[in-house]
Structure 1
């Protein structure tokens, strides 16, 4: 069964917060970026979201406004270990997703999200993997087709194909 995985870095955040890094909220530009990304991702079949517990990632997901057709907002799981999570932690969490879910969005931070995206892209598109590693600004996302169960992503890139790289308001690169 084909699955869709979208990895997204949070939208543009304020530089500082009295609540520390974890409490940094989206800047006005970040709200606009996330709303635009939500319009672009609306038709991607996302059924579930894994999200870092930071304020800026929560607000990014809120601004995306993703909905399951005829069923309300897409369910979101907020995870402390995705806050500045390593690539291994992100892959482990993806691997725990129920296989009934065929469309998953993960919203997190750099360097974890771009590292996972570049690692997964390497198998099918090495040149694009290099691009992702060098260029993954706020609100960027990459989309993958996964041929197999989510658990397979814990330690293998087999059956993974990069299908798109995008950023709100810019042309999505279909690969």
Structure 2
């Protein structure tokens, strides 16, 4: 079985309107969420063993604490093609992952990320998919399982079970209780 995790980059800094979109960093709130999500993802049951990340600055900054938490044994590949990638590109990148990888994480951007998530779900009306369709905030984390896939090339639209969706705000609140 293959498992695909999607992580939207953390909240970006809009204080410099002249900044190029690709080079926009995360803000202080985004850095706090990125640190929290890094710890959460590295220690949850959906821990990835391979990461594909957009090379945009805010995505790379989101991924940096996660890379530290996961350690050197989990490769992180930064790809320009993931910058504002739409579902077809995201699917192609997932399908091209090494078959030795069981849990793949892709760190990318909306709107492509949420469109991809909706396309993957075999049941777009289930509770988790409905929550995803209502919006994936910055730092949002979605997990799909593909029980019939032994190879990444076998995953396709409409074949994933949406098993988890967490928003940093909610997960931070739960960790305090």
User: What is the TM-score with the length of structure 1 in the denominator?
Assistant: 0.86
Conserved 8 A contact 1:7-1:107: yes
Separation in 2, partners of 1:139, 1:32? 10
Name structure 1 gaps, 5 residues minimum: none
1:117 corresponds in structure 2 to 117
Separation in 2, partners of 1:125, 1:96? 25
Deviation per residue, 1:101-140 (Å, 9 max, x gap): 001100000001111112212x135243332122211000
Name structure 2 gaps, 5 residues minimum: 173-177
User: Within the alignment, does 1:29 sit opposite 2:29 as a pair?
Assistant: yes
Please identify which structure carries the higher helix content: 2
Please identify which structure carries the higher strand content: 1
1:157 corresponds in structure 2 to 158
2:144 corresponds in structure 1 to 144
Separation in 2, partners of 1:156, 1:138? 23
Separation in 2, partners of 1:98, 1:66? 22
- Cα distance, 1:40 vs structure 2: 1.4
SS in 2 for 1:13: coil
Bigger shift: 6-15 or 18-27? 18-27
Separation in 2, partners of 1:130, 1:45? 24
SS in 2 for 1:63: helix
- Cα distance, 1:165 vs structure 2: 0.4
Q: How does 1:83-98 map to 2 (within 5 A)?
A: 83-98=83-98
Deviation per residue, 1:79-102 (Å, 9 max, x gap): 111101111000011000011000
Separation in 1, partners of 2:19, 2:101? 35
The total of aligned residue pairs comes to: 165
User: What is the TM-score with the length of structure 2 in the denominator?
Assistant: 0.85
